[in-house]
Amino acid sequence: MTRIGLLGGSFNPAHGGHRAISLFAIRALELDELWWLVSPGNPLKDPESMAPLEVRLASARTQARGTRIRPTAIETELDTRYTVDTLAALKSRYPSHKFIWLMGADNLLQFHHWRAWREIARRVPIAVIARPGYNRAAHAAPAMGWLRRFVRPVADLRNWTNWRPPALVLLRFVPDPRSATRIRQADPHWHRRALSRVDLSRRTHSS
Ligand SMILES: Nc1ncnc2c1ncn2[C@@H]1O[C@H](COP(=O)(O)OP(=O)(O)OP(=O)(O)O)[C@@H](O)[C@H]1O
Ligand SMILES: O=C(O)c1ccc[n+]([C@@H]2O[C@H](COP(=O)([O-])O)[C@@H](O)[C@H]2O)c1
């Protein structure tokens, strides 16, 4: 049985915060691999401000170097955009893998807007990772009105593969204030430089 964590995201761009929380999660959940699902397009986000998928994926590969993190654009391959569909496709493609969905506390605040969010929680256990500025609000998130009864103690964490979903665990690692919004604010043209690096490496590989 392979233990896989799933961290879906825009990764616009990937940053050290993603890497840090992922490394903590790999250890805490004893994961064989943590897959970063670099989204072709978050259904709730404006595509205008989104760098091309290949540039975001390249930033994810850079951040994941030398770890058990596996950046993927598997939602493109599966032709899914909604997490509920991605999970169904992954579970049927990898029937012997055990999956756990990871998300930062900011995503829990929006979770009730996701398509079939209760169904997502019925499909896989969920680990919510504390994030500076969002934790108090996350405890009061609309989705928590329903999810609260399924919260598991951290003491039982290693046993997550035996949890029968819905099951939710709240994880606190060293708080990491990094965010893609801040990076874009400081460097609005990050993707242009990144795109030229992607093009360059493609040319180098094909030459
Ligand atoms: N510093 C962090 N601490 C905890 N969770 C994080 C952190 N950074 C990102 N995440 C989580 O990682 C997942 C993917 O994040 P995403 O790619 O949206 O990055 P982001 O920094 O939140 O981007 P943006 O600022 O554009 O919203 C989400 O579940 C998000 O909550
Ligand atoms: O399925 C949905 O309705 C849905 C709505 C919003 C976000 N998501 C997923 O949530 C993950 C985090 O997205 P983001 O843009 O906040 O990094 C990513 O995998 C998205 O596809 C999914």
End-to-end CA distance of the chain: 41
Q: Which amino acid is at 137?
A: A
**What percent of the chain lies above the pLDDT cut of 90?**
86
Our answer on whether the CB atom of 69 is closer than 6 Å to any ligand 1 atom is no
Best CA proximity match to 26, nearest among 162, 160, 164, 178: 160
Residue 15 in contact with residue 63, Cβ under 8 Å? yes
Q: Which amino acid is at 30?
A: E
Q: Where are the domains of the chain?
A: 2-204
Mean pLDDT of 154-166: 97
**What percent of the chain lies above the pLDDT cut of 70?**
96
CA 38 vs. chain centroid, Å, equals 8
Q: How far, in Å, from the CA of 41 to the mean position of ligand 1?
A: 15
- Which structure tokens are listed for 44? 């709730």
Ligand showing the shortest atom-to-Cα distance for residue 186: 1
pTM: 0.96
Measure the CA–CA gap between 148 and 104, rounded to whole angstroms: 16
Write the burial class of residue 87 (CB in 10 Å: 0-12 exposed, 13-18 middle, 19+ buried).
buried
Best CA proximity match to 17, nearest among 105, 144, 83, 137: 105
Is the bond preceding 166 in cis, omega lying within 30 degrees of 0?
yes
Mean pLDDT of 172-182: 97
pLDDT in tens, 33-49: 999 999 999 888 888 88
Q: ipTM higher than 0.85?
A: yes
Report the pocket of ligand 2 as residue ranges, CB < 6 Å.
8-10, 37, 39, 42-45, 82-84, 107, 114-115
User: How does residue 127 score in pLDDT terms, banded at 50, 70 and 90?
Assistant: very high
Residue 3 in contact with residue 99, Cβ under 8 Å? no
Nearest CA to ligand 2 atom 4: 114
Class of domain 2-204: alpha beta
Q: How far, in Å, from the CA of 117 to the mean position of ligand 2?
A: 11
Residue 70 in contact with residue 37, Cβ under 8 Å? no
Our answer on whether the CB atom of 176 is closer than 6 Å to any ligand 1 atom is yes
CA 39 to ligand 1: nearest atom: 17
